[in-house]
Amino acid sequence: MVRFIAMLVGIAFAGVLAIALFGSISGVITEPPPPTAEHEFHKHPRDLELASDGPLGKFDMRQVQRGMQVYKEVCSACHSLRLVSFRDIKDMGYSDGQVKAFAASYDNIPSINPDTGEAATRKGVPSDRFPSPFANEVAARAANNNALPPDLSLMAKARHEGPAYIYSLLTGYQNQPAKLLKEFPDAKTPAGLHYNPYFANLNIAMAPPLTADGQVTYTDGTKSTVDQMAKDVAAFLSWTAEPKLQARHTVGFAAMLFLLVFCFLAYGAYQNVWRNVKH
């Protein structure tokens, strides 16, 4: 009797869920939600081809180095790289001396004065991580119109089509289209925000960081257009998100080659063992 009652309760519960699901689906079909500005004008990231793309991709270290220069001179004013150490850039082709010099170029590493015990700052050493430009989240929001600049260490992996998204976002600032304001009068970009169709809600608190060609003077002589700088910093953030990508690709290729040879050997062994057995 108890089992029968429990079965009836289960059937009734499943029936209620089915009715609710049917009602929701029919409601969406008969009365679809009204279009929104975000749905109509949000753009898919532009195509970006990097040397690291594909299963056998390798980083273009010259481009990654240029991207780090863009990060240091432009992006580091607001964004941190808290998961990247100075010594990690040795994998980008720098010598130990260059790594030490680069680390020492940062003289704002938080420290403690051993004589007074008070907070102080010092020059960086290779074991330090890239410092945050702000003391804490409160200071970061106070300096950015209450918006919190995200850490960029894993940004290329945290966003769908990360490198292309970063590149598109940096080059996508523009005035609001007249068509948008005509169809959605209430979608005017609020004061303090900036229209960017590659951002999820179209309006982003970050002002355009790359504003003019030549903003960064590349040490290798490459012409630093806005488009080039955006591509380079996207490549650099791809590296910070997955610095061991090349090693992973190498190991993966070797593993696939081994499995292919193993399959042929296993098939040959099978044929040899069962060669005298009649089917």
Binding residue positions: 75, 78-79, 206
**170 closest CA partner among 122, 216, 128, 118:** 216
As a dihedral over the C-alpha atoms of residue 134, residue 226, residue 216, residue 221, rounded to 10 degrees, the angle is 150
Q: What angle do CA 250, 251, 254 make, to 5 degrees?
A: 90
Instruction: Return phi, psi of residue 195, to 5°.
Output: -75, 130
**Residue list, annotated binding site for heme c:** 75, 78-79, 206
Between CA 10 and CA 3 the distance in angstroms is 10
